[in-house]
Amino acid sequence: MSSTEPTSGGTGSGTTQLPADAVRFCKDMFQKVDLLKAYYAEISTASKNKTYEAEIIDNWLVSRGYDCTVEQVLLAQKQLPAYQLYYWSGGYKTLVGTSKSAGPVFTIHAYGTGPQQIGYGTQFIIDPQFSNLLLSWNSDDGTNETSGALTFTLSSATDGTATRSFYGTITDSSGTQPIAGVLMSADELQKAAASGKAPPGQDMSALQIAEAVVNFVAQTTFITLNFVMLYKAGKEIQQLKKELAGKPDDPELARAQARAEKQQTDVESSQEDALGQGDRAQENVDQFPEQDVESTMSEVVQGSPETPLDLPAQAQAPSEAQQDLLNEAVQDEVEPAGEGDDRIGGDTGGGDDDAGDVFEDIGGLAEDAAL
């Protein structure tokens, strides 16, 4: 394997590094649609066959010229979105304030060789900054009408979908309020722009392709997370069975095995749903000519800055109000302000459960196991 191996210390130490090949593989998945589809086929087949052996994917990666492991790829799938704004390209429906009012559409049109146009409603944002999943801007010099601090995340919904979303604060003349957003389809964004609710002039063809590819990559991240969790759960169960063979009357070992088996069952159920969503994500990519996909995504990625190998610190957790908005935004359909009701009412259907955070779960695995 690569000479640049992850060291212990978790994701927030600032000393842990990824092998360059793990980051290169994740970046190549955006540009080479055949590679993305082949990786998905490999990990989905292993999951459907319930052969949760990391070596299967490790060997496949090496055969493709990437000197890294699936666990290192999983970390890189968290690393790249922390610094590459193109991962978040698209339009986002928003909820604002404790009243959960539908807010303006938030747009990111971040293509590597072109201008990084970011808009809130119909206003483009001047001089935004993006690093470690945090997008921020201010209105101190009067160039922007608002200030904002948004943390982007990959949320897992109850149907197995990995959904790009954000939470944070927005400040305007009325004060500072919590805000959350969830990705809308390119068609919805086009309608919002046509009706004057989002900045005009978006290249919708490129945006539709980028959105389809990034959604497919995001779904494979969730599937990779589940696969690694199932691999680790299987190893833990095997070890506990060995220990119980020598201590058959040990209640603590028996309870630990029961917990591990319950987790395995739960993640297998999640993986089944995630794979169904992965198949649909691939179908969305397949509707575009492969040549158009690769030329568009090559332009997107090649003009982007280099991704550092140092793992970033964990993103700041949402406040209670931000988490509440995020839960509702992820689980519900949200209409842009001015279309239908100006409130998003009713329960999310998720009870008291928070929307899952795929990146946080990846970081937790890294800290627990020193990947």
Cα 182 from Cα 164, distance rounded (Å) = 6
Paired with 94 in beta bridges are 103, 181
* 97 against 160, higher pLDDT: 97
- Where residue 197 falls (left for φ over 0; alpha for ψ -120 to 50; beta otherwise) is alpha
Q: pLDDT by residue (tens digit) across 56-80?
A: 999 999 999 999 999 999 999 988 8
What are the distances in angstroms from CA 305 to CA 100, 170, 302, 359? Answer: 36, 27, 8, 21
Ramachandran angles phi, psi of 239, nearest 5°:
-65, -40
CB 2 within 8 A of CB 68: yes
CB 358 within 8 A of CB 221: yes
Question: What CATH number labels 85-205?
Answer: 2.40.128.10
Cα 185 from Cα 196, distance rounded (Å) = 17
Specify the pLDDT at position 16: 66
Mean pLDDT of 242-246: 88
**% of the chain exceeding 90 in pLDDT:** 43
Task: Give per-residue burial for 232-242: e unless 16+ CB within 10 Å, then b.
Answer: bbbebbeebee
* 21 against 341, higher pLDDT: 21
Where would I find the beta strands (DSSP E) of the chain?
90-96, 101-110, 116-120, 123-124, 129-131, 134-137, 147-156, 162-172, 175-184, 356-357
> Which residues, other chains included, contact 127 with Cβ-Cβ below 8 Å and sequence gap of 6+?
137, 143
Instruction: Name the segment(s) of the chain with CATH classification 2.40.128.10.
Output: 85-205
Q: pLDDT by residue (tens digit) across 286-329?
A: 999 988 998 888 877 876 777 777 766 777 788 888 888 888 88
> Which has the closest alpha carbon to 272: 52, 42, 47?
47
Q: 86: which DSSP letter?
A: G
Cα 155 from Cα 165, distance rounded (Å) = 7
Average pLDDT, the chain: 83
* 250 against 332, higher pLDDT: 250
Specify the pLDDT at position 200: 66
